[in-house]
Amino acid sequence: MEVDAPHPRVLSSAKLVDLKDKVLCELGLSAGHTERDTRAPRALPAPDPARPSVPRRRAIRRAARPGPQPGQDSERVDVVVIGGGPGGASAATVLADNGLRVLVLEREPFPRYHVGESLLPALWELWDRLGVTEQIEAAGFAVKQGIRFGMFRDPEEVVLLTAECPAYFPRSYTYHVDRARFDAVLLDNARQKGAEVREGWTVADVAMRDGWVTGVLAGPNGAAPRRIAADLVIDATGRDCLIARKMGWRRPDPALNKVAHFTQFAGGDPRDVGSLIPTADRIPATTTTEIHTTEGGWVWYIPLRGETVSVGVVLDAHYAGKLAGDPEAVFERALSGCPKVRAWLHGARQTMPVQTVSGISYINDSFVGNGFVLVGDASMFVDPIFSAGVTLAIRGGVYAADCILDAFQHRDFSAARLRPYESRIRQPMDRIFQMIRHWYAILEGGNADNMIRRAREIPWLRERLIVLLSGGYEKMDLESFLLSVKAAS
């Protein structure tokens, strides 16, 4: 069947207007803080044009400063980036492209395996900013045009396609990527823009003086570390959270206490979108991210290039703890509760051992300090359910770089000067946190009549869900989305 692009419905009844006030009250907002009207839930306004964009090749002010000190600094740069993943590579790209001396230190030689293969259409704007769009398009990744939900063994999947809402994003598709290749493309792009990248280097610690981070202690893997001085350090160490752990800032989210088991298979069903996409929007051999519920959690199924598929289960930690056996056994037990996914893997061959990540969700008390910022998973990680990780990491890297350029203009690397980065990135993070909590409330309640199922029938709820699940966190008012969910109940 073909899916027509729906349009939002106008809030014209007094009942729905009163419901809006009730929902705002539940969210901790008074009716007096919002405009009482009967207009349809609205998209967020465009960014303030008064806020200047960051030009490339910005002239950077550099104060006179000493070079490496004998017996102290082995070298000095403007910025050290610890970690070459998407967040670190993106920040390094913007900074180096604006003339700063940037050193990226990455512990592992690239390419290397990493989970997190499903990307979002919101990334096109960020790839354009990084000047890496052509490289991404040429890499040959599997094309993704949306997401499919299988809820509580409902025989009919809920299909949400970005092509239904073309006005929100430059393109109505994105990719399922082999992260080894994708991350290497981003890191190579940072090199091409002028960053120095050293793979196979370990950062043992950050150097501190009087409460300020002044550089890092680092060296080739297995070698004694030496001091590298920098005006600013970017922690992009992923879940290692080097600086946050040192500062005692890392906080797990007890409400999202989940464990993930995942692996890859060769020969799984590619889940071709086929006739689900209108002919005008159809791209040959495209697929979707599959999300299906199972007892104690949910399953992801992500077809990659060729015959490879990424498959993972995310379970409540208390439920998983009651299951007997090793991670392989727990993984198989979870898949047995999802007959569709098990059928798609019939005859497929598992190509790697099951990997496990526990304590998935956490957030740090702060993302900035005197002389440093945290980006990507080094700042927080929510949950893999809506594939937000890579989008938030790249967005965080770009936002951090914008703020750092401003800091160099003013020669001020204090936490106060860097705080606008944290304020800017926390907004999309807070929105995805709320959506994820709503998702797990649905799973815990076991309610088949939920917002995902209702999105099949209610156009204005469907539109808002598609935009948010495509990464448009700043393009859609979350208050309106929650109101839509409440009104549709």
Contact between 151 and 450 (Cβ < 8 Å):
yes
Structural domain contains residue 463: no
149 and 218 both lie in a single domain: no
207 and 336 both lie in a single domain: no
Residue 156: give its domain's CATH number. 3.30.9.100
Radius of gyration of the chain (CA): 23
HSE of 361, CA atoms in CB hemisphere, 13 A: 21
184 and 327 both lie in a single domain: no
Instruction: Give residue 87's domain range.
Output: 73-132+180-253+362-430
User: Chain-centre distance of CA 211, in angstroms?
Assistant: 30
CA distance 187 to 68: 27
Contact between 375 and 393 (Cβ < 8 Å):
yes
107 and 92 both lie in a single domain: yes
pLDDT at residue 283 in the model: 86
327 and 277 both lie in a single domain: yes
200 and 341 both lie in a single domain: no
351 and 367 both lie in a single domain: no
266 and 348 both lie in a single domain: yes
243 and 262 both lie in a single domain: no
Ordered per-residue pLDDT tens for the chain, 489 residues: 444 444 333 344 454 445 445 444 443 444 443 333 333 333 433 434 333 344 445 556 554 444 455 445 689 999 999 999 999 999 999 999 999 999 999 999 999 999 999 999 999 999 999 999 999 999 999 999 999 999 998 889 999 999 999 999 999 999 999 999 999 999 999 999 999 999 999 999 999 999 999 999 999 999 999 999 999 999 999 999 999 999 999 999 888 999 999 999 999 999 998 878 777 778 888 999 999 999 999 999 999 998 999 999 999 999 999 998 999 999 999 999 999 999 999 999 999 999 999 999 999 999 999 999 999 999 999 899 999 999 999 999 999 999 999 999 999 999 999 999 999 999 888 888 888 998 999 999 887 788 899 998 889 889 999 999 999 988 877 666 666 566 655
Residue 108: give its domain's CATH number. 3.50.50.60
pLDDT at residue 489 in the model: 58
CA distance 238 to 82: 9
> 301: which strand partners?
290, 311
Structural domain contains residue 13: no
CA distance 396 to 379: 9
pLDDT at residue 33 in the model: 38
Q: What's the total number of domains in the chain?
A: 2
94 and 203 both lie in a single domain: yes
pLDDT at residue 431 in the model: 84
In angstroms, what CA-CA distances link 384 with 15, 84, 359, 372, 471? 36, 21, 12, 27, 13
* 327, 358, 389 - which closes a domain: 358
pLDDT at residue 258 in the model: 96
198 and 77 both lie in a single domain: yes
* 305, 325, 358 - which closes a domain: 358
217 and 95 both lie in a single domain: yes
